[in-house]
């Protein structure tokens, strides 16, 4: 049996690999502290679960239109209008089985064989693999800690060739927590417009933002960039609904229609019940989002302070999302056995029983990623274990 070239090119998700190994160790009775999860540890708010129960009881259990139900599209339009100052009509919205699915639909609908897709690193693990499946070529823009992990306009300009089709922007960013400011987005937008390059703006962490930072959607900076941008969002992270699988894309009707067509021949509609739950999430009370973000902020302050006290580790304070992206180059330089982020993550798991994700998965081997979507107690214990382990070997 031979697997298609298209699928053979994909690497397995390194995040899932570490989580699976940590789970296996837990099953063996080992007390593992995991910083690998990409999801909030809070339960889905009760009023959202009640909306799903109601949908179920009322028999809302059949196929819906493949691109999603009209009332939810209208609620999404309202959300964009109120939160992002963006006017979309329901024809410009596609509801998918998670934001991941919307992004995949977008890349497959825009990329032809050999098209170049510009992707700032560190990046979310799935982007390069999706680009490869679509036959595209990821062109990596390396960003650095010194520049707060932000792509510079001149870097973007230099990377654009006649084959460039798409630029992927992720603000707030997984794994770095970087949030782009309006004036920075304006400069990137001007370059995209002048070269007619499309933009996927992944805004899934929009609401998980700290220190008075403001989330700005690049699509809101003018009609020309709105026409080139697909704004991606969803309910997974903001409403602690990762398992419900509802995400959405907003953009020019022509692209949304192509993406809907593709989706109609793959998954069809996202789960009917989940769509009703997402409707409640977007239109119901928002108090729990604020509470969750408040809790994440406390954990962020704590983990960043503690990590910076460990010799060999340094960590910027992230402005958004729920990850701390820690620089471990000081350890890798000194320790011959753990010469890269993957071997360090493996050692931490096996010897200190702490699960983290190696930076290599995100395109930068000098870092490891901690998800602080776990209790303060566990964060304290996990960081202590790392400190003790490194203290012994360095
Ligand atoms: C940057 C980014 N985009 C998209 C997603 C996917 O979200 P969803 O659960 O809605 O598919 C994730 C999930 O980890 C993410 O980190």
Q: How far is CA 87 from CA 84, 94, 215, in A?
A: 9, 15, 17
Q: Which atom of ligand 1 is nearest to the CA of 102?
A: 11
Q: From CA 90, how far away is CA 302, in angstroms rounded? A: 42
Ligand 1: does its nearest atom lie under 6 Å from the Cβ of 236? Answer: yes
CB 75 within 8 A of CB 51: no
CA of 146 to the centre of ligand 1 (A): 26
Query: ∠201-7-127 over CA atoms, to 5°?
Result: 15
Q: Take atom 16 of ligand 1 and give the residue whose Cα is closest.
A: 174
> Which of 37, 121, 126 has most ligand 1 atoms within 8 Å of CB, for mutation?
126
Peptide bond into 62 cis (omega under 30): no
CA of 306 to the centre of ligand 1 (A): 27
> DSSP label at 207?
T
Q: Which residues pair with 201 in a beta bridge?
A: 169, 231
Q: From CA 356, how far away is CA 17, in angstroms rounded? A: 11
Q: From CA 215, how far away is CA 171, in angstroms rounded? A: 8
Q: Which of 23, 39, 140, 9 shows the shortest CA–CA distance to 99?
A: 39
Q: Take atom 7 of ligand 1 and give the residue whose Cα is closest.
A: 99
Q: Which atom of ligand 1 is nearest to the CA of 170?
A: 1
Strand extents, DSSP E, 276-388:
314-315, 323-327, 354-355, 357-358, 367-371
End-to-end, the C-alpha distance of the chain in Å comes to: 48
Per-residue pLDDT for the chain (394 aa), expressed as one digit of tens each? 799 998 998 887 666 777 788 889 999 999 999 999 889 999 999 999 999 999 999 999 999 999 999 999 999 999 999 999 999 999 999 999 999 999 999 999 999 999 999 999 999 999 999 999 999 999 999 999 999 999 999 999 999 999 999 999 999 999 999 999 999 999 999 999 999 999 999 999 999 999 999 999 999 999 999 999 999 999 999 999 999 999 999 999 999 999 999 999 999 999 999 999 999 999 999 999 999 999 999 999 999 999 999 999 999 999 999 999 999 999 988 777 788 998 999 999 999 999 999 999 999 999 999 999 999 999 999 999 999 999 998 8
Q: Which residues pair with 233 in a beta bridge?
A: 248
Written as one string, the DSSP assignment of 225-279 is HHHHEEEEEESTTTTT-TTT--EEEE--HHHHHHHHHHHHTTT-SPPHHHHHHHH
CB 360 within 8 A of CB 341: yes
Centre a 10 Å sphere on the Cβ of residue 57 and count the other Cβ atoms it contains: 9
Strand extents, DSSP E, 88-220:
93-96, 116-121, 137-142, 164-170, 198-202
């Amino acid at each position: 049996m031979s697997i298609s070239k298209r699928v053979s090119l994909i690497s397995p998700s390194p995040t899932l690999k570490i989580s699976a190994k940590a789970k296996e160790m837990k099953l063996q009775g080992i007390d593992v502290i995991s910083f690998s999860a990409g999801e909030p540890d809070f339960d889905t708010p009760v009023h959202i679960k009640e909306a799903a129960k109601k949908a179920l009881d009322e028999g809302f259990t059949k196929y819906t239109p493949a691109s999603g139900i009209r009332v939810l599209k209208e609620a999404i339009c309202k959300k964009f209008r109120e939160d992002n100052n963006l006017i979309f009509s329901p024809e410009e919205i596609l509801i998918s089985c998670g934001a991941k699915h919307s992004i995949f639909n977008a890349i497959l609908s825009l990329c032809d064989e050999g098209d170049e897709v510009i992707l700032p690193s560190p990046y979310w693990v799935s982007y390069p693999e999706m680009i490869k499946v679509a036959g595209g070529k990821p062109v990596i823009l390396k960003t650095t800690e010194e520049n707060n992990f932000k792509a510079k306009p001149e870097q973007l300009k230099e990377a654009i060739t006649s084959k460039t089709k798409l630029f992927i922007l992720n603000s707030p960013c997984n794994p770095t927590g970087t949030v782009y400011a309006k004036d920075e987005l304006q400069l990137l937008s001007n370059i995209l417009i002048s070269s007619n390059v499309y933009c996927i703006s992944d805004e899934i962490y929009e609401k998980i933002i700290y220190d008075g930072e403001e989330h700005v959607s690049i699509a809101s900076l003018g009609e020309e960039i709105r026409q080139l941008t697909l704004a991606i969002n969803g309910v997974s992270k903001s409403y602690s609904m990762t398992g419900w699988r509802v995400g959405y894309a907003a953009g020019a009707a022509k692209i949304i229609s192509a993406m809907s067509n593709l989706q109609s021949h793959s998954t069809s509609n996202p789960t009917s019940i989940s769509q009703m739950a997402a409707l409640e999430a977007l239109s119901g009370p928002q108090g729990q989002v604020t509470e969750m973000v408040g809790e994440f902020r406390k954990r962020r302050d704590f983990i960043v302070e503690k990590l910076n006290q460990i010799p060999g580790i340094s960590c910027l304070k992230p402005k958004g999302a729920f990850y701390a992206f820690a620089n471990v180059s000081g350890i890798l330089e000194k320790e011959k056995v753990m010469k890269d982020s993957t071997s360090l993550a493996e050692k931490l798991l096996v010897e200190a029983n702490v699960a983290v994700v190696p930076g290599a998965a995100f395109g930068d081997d000098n870092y490891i990623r901690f998800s602080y979507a776990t209790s303060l107690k566990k964060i304290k214990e996990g960081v202590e274990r790392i400190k003790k382990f490194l203290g012994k070997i360095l």
